[in-house]
Chains A and B, each alone.
Chain A
Amino acid sequence: MSTVDTAARTGIAAGTQLPELRIPITATLIVTGAIATRDFQKVHHDKDVAQAAGTPNVFMNILTTNALVNRYVGEWAGPAARVGRINIRLGATNFPGDEMVFTGTVDSVDGQNVVVKVVGTNSLGPHVTGTVDLVIPSKGESA
């Protein structure tokens, strides 16, 4: 008996909606995200440097955006899923005090191969738009 049976994996089809995920964009998330991803560029942790560079505040780095896309789709797909590709387009900057709302839709299903379209939108517009390729095994099988 597997402890990581992916819950409710039946019924995934093109058009299936992922539950929305709201992520508060805080200075803490931006700074800890940058340092945890080993990105020491000062615009991601030092407000004075960010403002001197012409932005209103520190802003989220791309590696954190990738990690949050990974988290969003992974929470939905479950621990048995394997991510094969994350392909994102970058848009409106994530600044502290904002909120990013993730929505997602299953774009295609071919056997265990599932492609999900994801959008993360903040108050300025889409921050990230992309696709995530997954292998989601049927219950009792491994990816």
Chain B
Amino acid sequence: MSQDPNVLIGEMIAAGNERISVARDEVNRPMIHHLCDAMEETNPIYLDPEAARAAGHPDVVAPPSALQVWNMINPSDPVIESDVDRAYAHLADCGYPKVVAVNCDQEYDRYLVPGDLLTASEKVESFVGPKQTGLGEGYFITTLTTYTDQQGERVGTMRFRTLWYNPEKRNS
């Protein structure tokens, strides 16, 4: 329980191994419609090719915040263990079993259009702790996912930070 997670996770950050996943489907109009319907999104650049072209886009575009959507794990896919999963499991093993998402930082190089096929490459980027938080003692871990298109060009990145904590190790 008193194992220091900095050792193994530090090695993972130094190694920089990425989990690489290719989207099952291209960016496509039906899914853009689903997204807009669910969110009550009415921006015409997502829905009307003429309005999108008038705004300087080649076609309708996907909402930029949907960057992560195209490479989400399909429910029927086999689980492929990556360093990110191993780092999370290791934090639980070290006595920090509870998790809460803290930050999500997405940067977009360009808007995505139907036909784009994304590859996501995810790795552990940084790690901080132990820290006393309102939830208990814990560690912050940040993953970096880089999204590239069918030409290998980067289209965006996402940094995702979670806190792994032990609610029993709590000051107050």
User: Hey, which bits of chain A sit against chain B, CB under 8 A?
Assistant: 2-4, 29, 32-33, 35-40, 62-64, 66-71, 74-75, 79-80, 82-90, 142-143
A71 in contact with B39 (CB, 8 Å): yes
Our count of residue pairs bridging A and B at CB distance below 8 angstroms stands at 109
Cα–Cα, bound, A119→B44 (Å): 25
Residues of A within 8 A of B75 (CB): 40
Q: How far is the CB of B24 from the nearest CB of chain A, in Å?
A: 10
B63 in contact with A67 (CB, 8 Å): yes
* Shortest Cβ-Cβ A-B pairs, 6 listed: A70-B65, A142-B56, A36-B38, A38-B72, A32-B38, A66-B65
A36 in contact with B103 (CB, 8 Å): no
- Stretch of B3-11, B13-21, B104-112, B124-132 at the chain-chain interface: B104-112
Q: How far is the CB of B133 from the nearest CB of chain A, in Å?
A: 13
Cα–Cα, bound, A89→B56 (Å): 31
Residues of A within 8 A of B103 (CB): 87-90
User: Hey, which bits of chain B sit against chain A, CB under 8 A?
Assistant: 31, 34-35, 37-45, 50-51, 54-56, 63-66, 68-70, 72, 74-75, 100-108, 111
Which of A29, A40, A71, A75 counts the most chain B CB atoms within 10 A?
A: A71
B51 in contact with A37 (CB, 8 Å): no
A3 in contact with B104 (CB, 8 Å): no
Can you report 20 residue pairs joining A to B where beta carbons are below 8 Å apart? A36-B34, A36-B35, A36-B38, A38-B69, A38-B74, A63-B69, A64-B39, A66-B106, A67-B35, A67-B38, A67-B39, A79-B43, A86-B65, A86-B104, A87-B105, A87-B106, A88-B103, A88-B104, A89-B102, A143-B55
- A83 (CB) vs chain B CBs: closest residue: B64
- B75 (CB) vs chain A CBs: closest residue: A40
A62 in contact with B101 (CB, 8 Å): yes
- A142 (CB) vs chain B CBs: closest residue: B56
Cα–Cα, bound, A71→B41 (Å): 6
Cα–Cα, bound, A39→B42 (Å): 22
Residues of A within 8 A of B55 (CB): 4, 79-80, 142-143
Q: Which of B41, B50, B64, B104 touches A90 (beta carbons < 8 Å)?
A: B104
A86 in contact with B34 (CB, 8 Å): no
Residues of A within 8 A of B101 (CB): 62, 90
Q: How far is the CB of B78 from the nearest CB of chain A, in Å?
A: 15
